[in-house]
Structure 1
Amino acid sequence: MLNVFDYTDYRILLSDLYQQRKSEWAAFSYRYICNKVGIASAGFFTNILNGKRNISDELIFKFAELFGFSRVETEYFDCMVHYDQSKEPDRRKYYHDKMVVLRKTSIYELTAEQNEYFSNWYNVAIRELINFYPFNGDYEVLAKMLAPSITAAQAQSAIELLLKLNLIRKDGAMYVVTDKTVRTSNQTSLSAIHHYQRAAMTLAQTAIERFDRADRNISTLTLNISTAQFQAISEKLTEFQLTALEMAKSDPEPSERVYQFNFQIFPLTKCYKGEK
């Protein structure tokens, strides 16, 4: 079942929903969709998907009804449509912020008891790896899949922790994740988050030597800007994180690797507001 909240582009969502329904019921066609939502031509739906036509407020709710969205999913879908179709930056920011808030209601949040998840970087990496890697209990092989590699004992400890926290589960002889997206909550300790962030930054430092340039993307930028512009750029980074999540979700190719994305902006000088 597709998760509406994994998307920020409503056109990609509609395309994926169509593909999913089509695989389940062969009669689910563009013409069927158009008949249900009151569109005269099947070509109109094609144009929606390829960005040549927009949808009206009336169609927003007809599509939501067709695909069985809940109230919150419908509200999120409405925001996605207006975010895509709005031209004014202020309106786009308004709908983007609403999407961020609504997404928080749909994402699995770690509780205070689950702080241990962030105790080692490889706990997070292994859980992400299990999304596509067929792990069957061979800890030696699993340990060597990570870069840098870890010990079999560490891999086993991570699997046991993920099972205990209900972040993965056993499915026959294999292991699968229980939720697609995980985020921290206000119960997650700052010390646990900062511990993980420091580990991620250390991995970035060593990645310069561990990987060829073709396998990594590391760049820096030093700017002099106002506090207001810093906040605006930070908001853009938050927006990009949503985009990256969507791109990962809608990747047409099978996953091959786990990547670490670090987003950092910090001061290099004290603040100066002019002579007093």
Structure 2
Amino acid sequence: MQENKPYVFVYINYRDYLKELVAWYKQNRPQFSYRFFSREAGFKSPNFLKLVIDAERNLSSESIDKFSAALKLNKEESAFFRALVNLNQATTAADKKYYSEEILKFKKVIKLYPLKRAQYDYYSKWYNITIREMIPARGFKNDPKWIASKLIPPITSTEVEKGINTLLELEIAKVDNKGNLIQAESTITTGDQVSSSAVVQYHQTMIKMAAESIERFRGNEREISSTTVALSSEKFLQIQQMIRDFRKQVLAVAEGDGAREKIYQLNFQLYPLTEIIDDGEK
């Protein structure tokens, strides 16, 4: 059991925060109970807090204010708690993007997690990953203007500079003793909801760019095909694994290519177009 009161700024899931806060209160304030909290916060249901923690209830805007007051959060803590609730309860990619960016504006978050902004930027800007893949390519120049001119679609040299700074900050690229920009091995976590929101943005952007590539490139410069099939759940899982295995094969081929000339994007999508057809109903 933790001795210090849970600090809201270290959480990325408000239900986890509430769960650990309840445990702390019960350890340090014997009079605390779900019923006690409901009375203090002004809820009729004596176990409303438990229902929220168990994800059986969400918080409305009014409920967020009641929770903040009952938990005695200060102004900044209350604002963060509201943003966190809105992020966790968001149902669209656009809302998740908005609230993720709101979370990253808090000074306490910046101080506690100095790399979180860079992690978010790395995935939310498609060209960051592309720039990193360009680095070992034959003829690469560490020149933002030159890099910008090679990207399709084009971006500005200022965006390239920001992208390179992101790579350096995350230590997935570095400058050697000769001043050359080189790739560096480092792990970037995407487990929390803020980073995951950026990954969703990345996938959406690359799928959109795939659609645009139909008119942007000649047929001999791209490969686009699709097929629609009926599958059992068992065969779906089999094909899903085949895709994962093929992705590993592609990465192995690319890793062994000593004459890299262009950066390509390979997307994989496998998704349902119907509900289960035979659901047992007559």
Structure 2: tracts of 5 or more residues without a match:
1-114
Identity %: 32
C-alpha spacing 1:244/1:136, structure 2 compared with 1 (3 Å): closer
Q: Distance in 2 between matches of 1:134 and 1:162?
A: 20
**Contact 2:190–2:196 (Cα < 8 Å) also in 1:** no
Deviations along 1:70-114, one digit per CA (max 9) or x if unpaired, are xxxxxxxxxxxxxxxxxxxxxxxxxxxxxxxxxxxxxxxxx8562
Deviations along 1:214-234, one digit per CA (max 9) or x if unpaired, are 111010110011111111100
Structure 1: tracts of 5 or more residues without a match:
1-110
Higher relative contact order (CA 8 A, sep 6+): 1
Q: How does 1:133-212 map to 2 (within 5 A)?
A: 133-171=138-176, 172-179=178-185, 184-187=189-192, 189-212=195-218
Task: For residue 169 of structure 1, report the CA deviation from its aligned partner.
Answer: 0.6
C-alpha spacing 1:135/1:170, structure 2 compared with 1 (3 Å): farther
Q: How does 1:34-45 map to 2 (within 5 A)?
A: none
Q: How does 1:1-276 map to 2 (within 5 A)?
A: 114-171=119-176, 172-179=178-185, 184-187=189-192, 189-251=195-257, 253-276=258-281
Deviations along 1:4-42, one digit per CA (max 9) or x if unpaired, are xxxxxxxxxxxxxxxxxxxxxxxxxxxxxxxxxxxxxxx
Q: Distance in 1 between matches of 2:208 and 2:196?
A: 18
Task: For residue 262 of structure 1, report the CA deviation from its aligned partner.
Answer: 0.4
* Aligned-residue CA RMSD (Å): 2.0
Partner SS for 1:169: strand
Partner SS for 2:181: strand
Q: Distance in 1 between matches of 2:204 and 2:127?
A: 13
Task: For residue 250 of structure 1, report the CA deviation from its aligned partner.
Answer: 1.9
Q: TM-score, normalised by structure 2?
A: 0.54
Q: Which amino acid aligns with 2:265?
A: Q
Partner SS for 1:176: strand
C-alpha spacing 1:162/1:219, structure 2 compared with 1 (3 Å): same
Task: For residue 151 of structure 1, report the CA deviation from its aligned partner.
Answer: 0.8
**Contact 2:168–2:174 (Cα < 8 Å) also in 1:** yes
Deviations along 1:209-264, one digit per CA (max 9) or x if unpaired, are 1111111101011001111111110000000011111111122x410011101000
- Is the deviation greater in 125-134 or in 152-161? 125-134
Task: For residue 186 of structure 1, report the CA deviation from its aligned partner.
Answer: 2.5
Task: For residue 174 of structure 1, report the CA deviation from its aligned partner.
Answer: 1.6
Partner SS for 1:162: helix
C-alpha spacing 1:134/1:176, structure 2 compared with 1 (3 Å): farther
Task: For residue 115 of structure 1, report the CA deviation from its aligned partner.
Answer: 2.6
- List structure 1 runs of 4+ shifted beyond 6 angstroms: none
- Is the deviation greater in 113-122 or in 220-229? 113-122
Task: For residue 128 of structure 1, report the CA deviation from its aligned partner.
Answer: 0.5
Task: For residue 203 of structure 1, report the CA deviation from its aligned partner.
Answer: 0.8
Task: For residue 187 of structure 1, report the CA deviation from its aligned partner.
Answer: 4.0
Task: For residue 164 of structure 1, report the CA deviation from its aligned partner.
Answer: 1.0
Q: TM-score, normalised by structure 1?
A: 0.55
Matched residue count: 164
**Contact 1:143–1:152 (Cα < 8 Å) also in 2:** yes
- State the partner residue of 1:64: none
Task: For residue 138 of structure 1, report the CA deviation from its aligned partner.
Answer: 2.0
C-alpha spacing 1:130/1:250, structure 2 compared with 1 (3 Å): same
Which is greater in Rg?
2
Deviations along 1:163-202, one digit per CA (max 9) or x if unpaired, are 11111111223200102x8665434732111010001101
**Contact 2:138–2:259 (Cα < 8 Å) also in 1:** no
C-alpha spacing 1:136/1:250, structure 2 compared with 1 (3 Å): closer
